[in-house]
Structure 1
């Protein structure tokens, strides 16, 4: 277990934002489904991305890693190279690859670590029941054994559990011979993630038709085409630095695309609403040291990954912030509503936890002290982001969890002037 002690200090400087984890997953999978060789550039090899690469290798895909990129020789081989697919703690990996594995009609076993074993997969189980596809799990938990052949046709899928199910089906159904339709039966939350999927698939030669009624028409028999793909910077990771810049002495975040489809790009608009001074420049965003940051209303339905950092910022802002429509955060790597409210309150914050959101009343300062990451990368980074507003040092337990999405987070934190000590306390 790793601890970091953060001594209060304002951050400033220039940071190159890591590549988008969401886009990396999708580009690597599309390359793996392609005929030929693809080169994926600007990859941040976090634990989640490593999980997707390892899973695809077990399914027979050949990959060669460079420092910041990947050469992928696509097309799954039969028989499967290794039927044990370890998804570590990556929800994207397991939800994207389950339906793909169901197109090859071989027995595979999906495993995972931590909270992944409990995260819901019921949407897929309903499909397997309807199509008589064999599967077995452990009382609804991983490991999941799967063997069967997915069939083309109409799929009626809820959109308020996770958009990852829609993405997984889009990847898989385009590989089948017949045409299929995905009908989203509820409002589709986190729709920008599906938009990213469609965009990346198009770059690899696969087209999906979408209408205004929440339906996706998937023409069967399409062939993924190999491609060279450059991954853009990640707005969900940039959010931490934008907040630290606003609370510190200003930070310039490089590698961001103004025309990005990433839903978390909305962080820029939310911060502006809260009184943060932000300026777009060529391929980067500069956030200035801002005074008079105030509360706002945040709808978490389309940007759930931003809620921990926005709650943290709200805890040291003027007035009250209401976060609503964020119930899905309870089934992430941790119960993020409970986790962020509990830890901010430990430090003297004023956060009220609701069933599907938070009410945060800002304080001028937090006390600091010892907090827990809940083994959740976004909780650890959100807490670190408000360390400059603490009267005393902050000690974060389980700080190594940032490796899930941002292995160099603590290194970059120190590069920008963060003052930390770290140590291990056994297992």
Structure 2
């Protein structure tokens, strides 16, 4: 296990934001399903992205990496006959995106994973399997390893809007390649619309058209073909959120490589910071130390930025309420419980509710020792909290940042952060 010790110190400078993990997943899948060769530039090569890339290679795609893995060339290959094993590591996106895609190969597929991934629900797909007589099995108390065998068939699919949008995106990747036409009906108001928008936009870039009727019904023509496309992945607002909040709390930071017109749902972090009174230049994404005040934060459309916004709220004047955030309980950790537990350890005043948090802000935190819960976003959020601690903060299990942002602590140091790292052994 690795640990980091962060001594409170102002951060200052410019930082290149890693490419969007969400868009990298989508670009790799689309390119791997395309006729011809695609080039994807500005890849943030994390464990999650490696999982998606290796799974697509196991499904027949040909891939080669250049420029320290920041550029990948991909093309559709021939799917070899026989059983397929897809290791999704700890990536929920990889697993949920690729279950429908893998069922296109007509072979037995075994999906595996680790960490909390085997416990993350897959019921929407199991309901489809039951309806279409697709054979599947998994352990009694977990969902992985999942063994599935059968052909996904075109049809009319119904999904609730408050489940993970990853299930909707997964179907969108696969259904256009089937012989018949399909529909996806959303039976309750759709959450995480931004993630669905990113999927639709990426599909469109690769020649796939899906008709969107007010996010209530998606009409998908069959017999479509993915067309090779060269693209560059833009910076990730969910990762920029850490530096934006860091700048507000104790720094002057400019975030580079962000797209003003981005469809990323996590771009909402900019609006929340403005709403709380933070000093942020929305043209150049420059943030400066500010005194912020409490507000209401709706987590339904942007769950990934809630951990770091919890840190900002814990250090803002007044009370902040986070609502509609129940899905944070089924991420890499129970993020509502994790943030409440760890921040309260170091002096915060947070009350955990079933679907959110009530946070009474303080001027500073105490410091001490906290745990990452083996969750990359918890570890990075706690690192940001260290900037307003009276004493050093030690984060145990800091290696989990490799899931999405392997060089996070290197970037922390580049901005002037005082970080010591060490290994405690197994």
TM range (shorter): over 0.9
Tell me the CA shift for residue 249 of structure 1. Answer: 2.7
Any stretches of 5+ residues in structure 2 without a counterpart? none
- Quote the offset at 1:259 in angstroms: 0.5
1:256 partnered with 2:258:
yes
Match of 1:176 among 175, 178, 184: 178
Q: Residue 201 of structure 2: SS of its match in structure 1? A: helix
Question: 8 Å contact 1:323–1:358 — kept in the other structure?
Answer: yes
Distance 1:181 1:293, change over 3 A: same
Partner of residue 85, structure 2: 84
Q: Distance in 2 between matches of 1:252 and 1:23?
A: 22
Count residues in correspondence.
423
The match for 1:21 is 21
More divergent stretch after superposition (397-406 vs 205-214): 205-214
Deviations 1:171-222 (A, max 9, x none): 0101101000000111111111010000000000000001026100000000
TM-score normalised by length of structure 1: 0.98
The CA RMSD measured in Å over matched residues stands at: 1.0
Partner Cα distance (2:165, 2:296) in 1: 23
1:405-416 equivalences under 5 Å are 405-416=404-415
CA-CA distance at 1:105 after TM superposition: 1.1
**Structure 1 residues 101-125: Cα deviation after superposition (integer angstroms, max 9, x where no partner):** 1122100100001100000000000
Q: How does 1:344-423 map to 2 (within 5 A)?
A: 344-423=343-422
Match of 2:14, SS state, is strand
Tell me the residue number matched to 1:197: 199
SS at 2:30's partner residue? helix
Residue 355 and residue 84 in structure 1: after superposition, are their counterparts in 2 closer, same or farther (change >3 A)?
A: same
Describe the superposition over 1:34-81 as per-residue Cα deviations: whole angstroms up to 9, x where unpaired. 01100000000011000001111111111001121100022452326x
Cα separation, partners in 2 of 1:418 and 1:36, compared to 1, 3 Å: same
Partner residue of 1:280 out of 264, 270, 282: 282
CA distance in structure 2 between the partners assigned to 1:302 and 1:420 by the alignment = 33
The residue aligned with 1:239 is: 241
Partners of 1:105 and 1:73 lie apart in 2 by: 20
SS of 1:9's equivalent? coil
SS at match of 1:151: coil
Q: Within 2, Cα distance between the matches of 1:239 and 1:407?
A: 16
| C-alpha contact 2:124 2:167 (8 A) present in aligned 1 | yes
CA separation in 2, counterparts of 1:109 and 1:127? 17
Q: Which digits, 9 at most, give the CA deviation of each residue in 1:220-264, with x for residues without a partner?
A: 000000010110000000000001111123100000001000011
Alpha-carbon deviation of 1:382?
0.4
Alignment of 1:18-417 (within 5 A): 18-66=18-66, 67=68, 68-79=70-81, 83-139=84-140, 140-212=142-214, 214-281=216-283, 284-290=284-290, 292-417=291-416
